[in-house]
Amino acid sequence: MKERFSEIDVGRRVDIHPPRAVDLHGAQRSARRQLTHSGRHRSRFGCRRAPQRVEDARGQHEAAGVDGVPGLETLADRLQDKRRDYLRWIENVLESRKIPAEHLGVAVEWLAEFCASRLPQEDASKLLALIAATRVALRDPAPEHPPYFRHMPKPWPQTGPFREALVAGDHRRARKIFSESIAAGHGFCETEMHLMQAALYQIGVLWQKNQVTVAQEHLATAICHSIMAGEFAHTEVAEEGNFKAVMACLEGNHHTVGLRMVSDALELSGWEVMFLGANTPIRALMDMVRESQPHLVGISVSLPYHLRTAREAIDTIRATFGKDSPAILIGGLSINQFDGVAEMIGADAYSPDAASAVRIADFLVTA
């Protein structure tokens, strides 16, 4: 098995908002207080049966030979700022729609009570410290941009007009702007990243602020799919090489634009690509891997709840094919948002965009 890594040659990693120091001792004191009231927690959430389940899960990981499963302390360190960012995102979504967000504090309190009533004391104390620290950190001013913006390709001057055309549903204008960028000498993959990907990120923020509707978001995505398919047909493809990739959004994930961009970039570079598209069951993915024997499997993880399915798929591939497993590359909005996720779920690497995906894929299969 090749040595795993998180990122290769994808530029300097810069956190827009450096981590803030949090009073962890105070958080631990809060956690201990939470644990002393487990009686009323049990009355709300039921008996503490989790210890055996936790041990069973740990035993299953050990029996399966899964390496690198992080402990709760590691998870707490990695997720502290992310939980704060997620709660602020929810708060912004609600407030932009004039929905009171005060109940978020109650939800966090109930989450703490649930952990205290269901988890072993050692594990519960760590998670409760994380939750308490999150409540403290939420008092800070919200960041100007979502955390995934740090990996957004630099917008071009044409990105604004392209975004406006997408939001307006003006297919012809959007296609014209894209075609003019290609005619000006920009590469197909480069134009997808700096024009299309950047515009879609910006539209996502407009939805968050309640300035565009879900229908407008879906229309913008549909226009992008149409443009990519049409322009790709007129783009020169490198001579087919010796490498093969299977690319999929797993079941529950219907966000395929990013995966399509990576697939296009690989194919333009000479890879044979089998693009399975959205909502692919793990069993179907396994059938394709078994049949085609690819050098690479690419998995898109758009939303946090897709991480569990991705981990299950990766574990299944490793357990089924062992040392003959293909390299596994992951990407998507959630991967760009959370550091260290590729390692945590067992992938060989992650990529924040299509251009770096090609470099990383080439490295994985030739190193």
Once rounded to an integer, what is the mean pLDDT over residues 322-328? 97
The most confident of the ranges 4-18, 126-140, 207-221 is 207-221
**Distance (Å) of CA 318 to CA 65, 217, 241:** 10, 36, 25
Q: What is the mean pLDDT of residues 323-351?
A: 90
Asked if 340 contacts 6 with a C-beta cutoff of 8 angstroms, the reply is yes
Residue 137 pLDDT: 63
User: Is pLDDT larger for residue 145 or for residue 15?
Assistant: 145
- For the cut 90, the answer to whether the pLDDT of residue 327 exceeds it is yes
**How far is it, in rounded angstroms, from Cα 355 to Cα 301?**
18
pLDDT at 248: 98
Question: What rounded mean pLDDT belongs to the chain?
Answer: 80
For 251-291, the DSSP string reads TT----HHHHHHHHHHHHTT-EEEE--SSB-HHHHHHHHHH
Q: Which of 177, 195, 296 is nearest to 247 (CA)?
A: 296
Crossing angle of helices 171-183 and 159-168, in 10° steps, is 160
Residue-level pLDDT at 94: 86
pLDDT tens across 28-37, in order? Answer: 444 444 444 4
For the chain, percent of residues with pLDDT exceeding 70? 73
CA nearest to 118, candidates 60, 56, 41, 57: 41
Domain-wise residue ranges, the chain: 24-137, 158-232, 244-366
Q: Which residue has the higher pLDDT, 15 or 263?
A: 263
**Cα torsion for 143, 148, 150, 152, to the nearest 10°?**
-130
pLDDT of residue 86: 72
Q: What is the pLDDT of residue 74?
A: 55
Burial pattern 230-250, b for ≥16 Cβ within 10 A else e, equals ebbeeeeeeeeeebbbbbbbb
Task: Reply yes or no on whether the pLDDT at 310 is more than 70.
Answer: yes
* 214 exposure class (CB count in 10 Å sphere: 0-12, 13-18, 19+): exposed
CATH number of 158-232: 1.10.1240
What is the pLDDT at residue 123? Answer: 82
Q: Which pLDDT band holds residue 143 (cuts at 50, 70, 90)?
A: low
Phi/psi region, residue 279 (left: phi>0; alpha: psi -120 to 50; beta: rest), is left
What does the pLDDT read at residue 106? 81
Q: What is the 3-state secondary structure (H, E, C) of 288-300?
A: HHHHHCCCEEEEE
d(CA 140, CA 84): 10
Same fold, 158-232 and 244-366: no
Sign for the CA dihedral angle at 59, 61, 65, 66 comes to negative
Classify residue 170 by its DSSP letter. Answer: -
**Residue of higher predicted confidence among 259 and 57:** 259
Q: How far apart are CA 80 and CA 265, in angstroms?
A: 34
Identify whether the C-beta of residue 272 lies closer than 8 Å to the C-beta of residue 245. Answer: yes
Measured from the Cβ of residue 203, the count of other Cβ atoms closer than 10 Å reads 21
Which of these CATH numbers, 3.30.300.30, 3.40.50.280, 3.40.50.300, 3.40.50.2020, describes 244-366?
3.40.50.280
Is 173:199 a contact under the CB 8 Å cutoff? no
Read off the tokens for 54.
């936790």
Two structure tokens written together for 76: 């707490």
What does the alpha-carbon distance between residue 192 and residue 200 come to, in Å, rounded to a whole number?
10
What's the pLDDT score for residue 330? 97
* CB neighbour list of residue 68: distance below 8 Å, 6 or more residues apart: 4, 343, 344, 346
pLDDT at 43 over 50: no
Q: Which range is least confidently modeled, 89-103, 168-182, 195-209, 267-281?
A: 89-103
Mean predicted confidence (pLDDT) in 291-310: 94
